[in-house]
Structure 1
Amino acid sequence: MRRLVVNGQVVQGLRTGGRSARIRESVLSAAFIELAESGYADLSVEAVASRAGVNKTTIYRRWQTLEDLLVDALTVGALEIPIPDTGSVEGDLLAVGHELAKLLNDGVGRQIATFVFTAGLRSSELREATRGYFEDQAVRAIPIIVRAIDRGELPTDCDASALLTTFRAPLFYQLVTTGDPIDVELIAQATRVALTAARAGLLAK
């Protein structure tokens, strides 16, 4: 599995294989780059084909519409956020917040995240793809909460998904409403709110 780096940011690797697989990888990589550089409004099959070095008919043979292409891209590739292990749940959430800020404040991360947050409004297929995208991100971060429970930092009945959702919500909300950068104060506040709620039993299963 190869790691794709777009504008200095890592996109989850795409599997390599024969010629057909390499063409698919090239097209999906090109779709990510075009989305990052141009945004969804200006994204086109022609631009993706040109960047991938293929004819647009090659794309249409595999994906009937641009939305089909984006569903495939979201299914096989995702923005990769490192999962830390600082020794405390507060430290871990702060570290995740800083990684999210680096990813979402500009560049490919911001473009793809903006698309992901609104994709469900465009088609049911994109809605399912984005749901899978967020579920995958949540599952990857659950060990942070499991470790915290084992260390006695959180109640044993703490719902890991609910805590992570509570933590991430203010960061994503700011991204899609005001568009202001995610800063250290917001990350610290989101961490305090999520942990306070969890320790008060408000995020129990």
Structure 2
Amino acid sequence: MTTAHHAPGETRPGGRTARTRKAVLTAVFEELGENGFGGLTMEKVASRSGIHLATVYRRWRCIEGLICELLTEVGSEVPLPDSGTLSGDLRALARSIAALYGEGRVRRLIEAVVSAAARDGQVASVLRTFFDERLALAGRMVQRAVDRGELPANTDPVQMMSALGAPFYYRILIARRPVDRDLADSAATAVRAAAHAGAYTKKDGGPANGTSPGG
């Protein structure tokens, strides 16, 4: 008899109660805010959440699993705008990202996930899947703009949305400076101008500007 192995953050068959999940993820968020990733342990999460330690281990297996699931939960809080114009959509999305990432606990969550992904292949896979899904969702904005005639038909939505998000991750992970509305508006304006100039158009059926699929 074999035991199924689940990637960090993956829902186990049979599910978990909403109350347990909420209590545990809230505890992870609070612990990150107070002590950072280095001070985060399964024992502290169990104690703060009021959920038995064995239950936390059984359902999430490890700290990385908790972090990945919390990232997915937090990421879902950014709505996909539909203002009727590309400019309005880009600005609204960028400002929503800035508002979310402006919170200290969310910044520490991002830092924790990136740190964990550097050490754990499963976490890295979950992180890639998370961003792939978010980019695909945001890509709907690009398609709407194409349908309205605001962008060239061969605009690559993944390249364009990646460019919108890049300044935020540079600011958080490299420069380690706050993100704000000014950064959001600057990113939105720059991406819109680049898109209109054809910077994200696919060449000969491949990725935009001849970049490789891996980056």
TM-score normalized with structure 2 length: 0.76
Structure number with the higher strand fraction is: 1
Query: Which amino acid is 1:185 matched to?
Result: D
Residue 189 (structure 1) aligned with residue 182 (structure 2) = no
Give yes or no for contact 1:101–1:181 (8 Å, CA) kept in 2: no
**Percent of residue pairs bearing the same amino acid type:** 37
* Cα offset, 1:40, TM superposition: 0.8
2:175 alignment partner, SS class? coil
The one-character-per-residue Cα deviations of 1:130-187 (angstroms, maximum 9, x if unpaired) are 1122122212212211111111111110011110111111121111122222233322
- In 2: Cα distance, 1:126 partner to 1:190 partner: 28
Q: 1:94 to 1:193 in 2, by over 3 A?
A: same
**1:93-104 to 2 correspondence within 5 Å?**
93-104=90-101
Aligned length: 189
* Aligned pairs (5 A) from 1:1-40: 22-40=19-37
Shift of 1:53: 0.8
Q: Single out whichever of 28-37 and 174-183 deviates more from structure 2.
A: 28-37
Q: In 2, distance between residues paired with 1:32 and 1:139?
A: 26
Amino acid at match of 2:78: I
Is residue 129 of structure 1 aligned with residue 129 of structure 2? Answer: no
Alpha-carbon distance between aligned partners in 2 of 1:71 and 1:186, rounded to the nearest angstrom: 26
Matched residue of 2:74: which SS? coil
Task: Please name the residue that 1:160 is paired with.
Answer: 157
Q: In 2, distance between residues paired with 1:71 and 1:101?
A: 20
Residue 57 of structure 1 is matched in structure 2 by 54
Whether 1:107 and 2:101 are equivalent positions in the alignment is no
| Structure 1, gaps ≥5 residues long | 1-13
How many angstroms does 1:18 deviate by? 8.2
Partner of 1:120: 117
Tell me, in whole angstroms, the C-alpha distance in 1 between the residues paired with 2:154 and 2:183: 27
Relative distance call for 1:63 and 1:143 in structure 2 (3 A) is closer
Q: Kindly report the root-mean-square deviation, in angstroms, between the aligned alpha carbons of the 2 structures.
A: 2.5
Contact kept? 2:71, 2:110, Cα under 8 Å: no
Q: Which runs of 5+ in 2 are unaligned?
A: 1-10, 203-215
1: distance between equivalents of 2:113 and 2:15? 30
Separation in 2, partners of 1:117, 1:132: 13
